[in-house]
Amino acid sequence: MSLYVRLYLLVITVLLLAALMICIPVLVDIVREGLDRREEWQTGEREMYTPDPEFEAGPPAVLDEERANLPPGKVACPYCGATNESGFAFCGHCASPI
Ligand SMILES: [Zn+2]
């Protein structure tokens, strides 16, 4: 093996070890946090599902006049109100069924 190859391998090894040393505390924190969460779920301190008030409120209402003012061949999405070409099954903006 030539000197340059050995030097290259040495540098790569040192860099990989340095990267690993930097990563280890972060990985340990991630695992620790996951274990803490699991314990909180099991003891009931934390809920698995946290309700999102914005989502729970349901789709925003699209005004009938907005719907009526659309040019022919266009459809308003019942969820986000985006204007879509008629004939599509899903909204091009939010992917809700039209
Ligand atoms: Zn939409």
- Model pLDDT for residues 15-32, shown as the tens digit of each residue: 999 999 999 999 999 999
Same domain, 78 and 36: no
Model pTM? 0.41
Same domain, 45 and 58: no
The residue segments making up the domain with residue 71 are 54-98
Same domain, 42 and 69: no
Same domain, 59 and 36: no
Kindly give the distance from the C-alpha atom of residue 97 to the centroid of ligand 1, in angstroms, as a whole number.
Answer: 8
Residues surrounding ion ligand 1 at CB below 5 Å: 77, 79-80, 82, 91, 93-94, 96
Q: Is the pLDDT of residue 83 over 80?
A: yes
Same domain, 59 and 82: yes
What per-residue string of b and e applies to 77-93 under the rule 16 or more CB within 10 Å gives b? bebebeebeeeeeebee
Instruction: Name every residue whose Cβ is closer than 8 Å to that of residue 54 and which is 6 or more positions away in sequence.
Output: none
Kindly give the distance from the C-alpha atom of residue 76 to the centroid of ligand 1, in angstroms, as a whole number.
Answer: 8
What's the confidence (pLDDT) of residue 72?
85
Greater pLDDT, 75 or 5:
5
Nearest Cα residue to 67 out of 58, 59, 57, 78: 78
Same domain, 80 and 58: yes
Structural domain total, the chain: 2
Same domain, 5 and 39: yes
Averaged pLDDT for residues 57-72: 70
What's the confidence (pLDDT) of residue 54?
72
Same domain, 62 and 40: no
Grade residue 90 by pLDDT with cuts at 50, 70 and 90.
Answer: very high
Same domain, 8 and 33: yes
Nearest Cα residue to 80 out of 98, 56, 53: 98
* Residue 22 backbone phi and psi in degrees, to 5: -70, -35
